[in-house]
């Protein structure tokens, strides 16, 4: 295992954890329903626990990706394909993010009820761009692509061989886990448990994860991080326009 690569992966996550956990925690605490008015632990306790948990998960993912990824053609920060043609990865990041946004605004957003729409878009607004780019774009990619996808690809290679089927199955399963992982935060933010909500979160996040997972496989972790960051950088101006548009009475 390459310990330099492992340390680099962990170091990439530190800004996202340090800057991303506090606003996410405050956002969830402010929005989470507490009908019985039970007192919460002090903020410093919640913050310490959240940061510690994230660091442990990142450390585990960093080790798994560095140890198992190279055995199945993964575990690279930058592949030769990205080094020789970075423009292709950037173009794919922009095109994939644009397709996602077209689906969200053109198909799924009109399907959501006003309560869920207000809660989900308000949650993104209060989370902030920095957290979305640094935590979502970096930490989530390390956990789900570098860690989980590499682990799954290795496990599947023991049965299927380290071929295309194993890789796409790993990408799909990691993508489903990525999608399911978004559900609790949105529910805590006040989204309603409707078929439209679950379909939107699961379908759109799975599609994004398939896209990021493919980029990780073909171009390395840097490409997946770039694409995830580009998604939020392209989404944020559109969110701003929605937030600044008065809602109809």
Any long-range contacts for 180-185 (C-beta under 8 Å, 24+ apart)?
181/144, 185/24, 185/28, 185/123
Number of domain units in the chain: 1
State the Cα–Cα distance between residues 3 and 233, nearest whole angstrom.
32
pTM for the model stands at: 0.92
74: left (phi over 0), alpha (psi -120 to 50) or beta: beta
pLDDT in tens, 84-129: 888 899 999 999 999 999 999 999 999 999 999 999 998 898 888 9
pLDDT in tens, 164-197: 999 999 999 999 999 999 999 899 888 999 999 9
50 within a domain of the structure (yes/no): yes
233 within a domain of the structure (yes/no): yes
The token pair that represents 145 in the structure block: 């692509």
106 within a domain of the structure (yes/no): yes
221 within a domain of the structure (yes/no): yes
25 within a domain of the structure (yes/no): yes
138 within a domain of the structure (yes/no): yes
139 within a domain of the structure (yes/no): yes
249 within a domain of the structure (yes/no): no
Give the range of the structural domain holding residue 60, as residue numbers without chain letter. Answer: 3-243
């Amino acid at each position: 295992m390459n310990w330099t690569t492992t340390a680099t992966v962990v170091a990439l996550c530190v800004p996202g954890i340090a800057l991303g956990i506090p606003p996410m925690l405050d956002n969830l605490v402010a929005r989470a329903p507490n009908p019985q008015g039970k007192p919460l632990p002090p903020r410093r306790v919640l913050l310490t626990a959240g940061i510690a948990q994230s660091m442990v998960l990142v450390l585990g993912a960093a080790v798994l990706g560095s140890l198992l990824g190279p055995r199945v053609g993964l575990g690279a920060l930058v592949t030769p394909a990205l080094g020789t043609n970075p423009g292709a990865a950037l173009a794919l990041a922009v095109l994939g993010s644009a397709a996602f946004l077209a689906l969200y605004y053109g198909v799924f957003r009109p399907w959501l009820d006003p309560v869920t729409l207000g809660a989900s878009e308000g949650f993104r607004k209060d989370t902030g761009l920095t957290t979305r780019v640094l935590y979502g774009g970096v930490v989530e990619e390390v956990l789900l692509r570098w860690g989980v996808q590499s682990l799954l690809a290795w496990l599947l290679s023991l049965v299927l061989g380290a071929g295309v089927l194993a890789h796409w199955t790993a990408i799909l399963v990691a993508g489903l886990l990525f999608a399911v992982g978004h559900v609790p935060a949105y529910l805590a933010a006040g989204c309603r448990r409707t078929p439209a909500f679950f379909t939107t979160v699961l379908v759109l996040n799975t599609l994004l994860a398939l896209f990021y997972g493919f980029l990780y496989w073909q171009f390395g972790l840097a490409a997946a991080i770039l694409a995830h960051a580009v998604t939020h950088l392209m989404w944020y101006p559109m969110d701003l326009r929605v937030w600044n548009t008065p809602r109809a009475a």
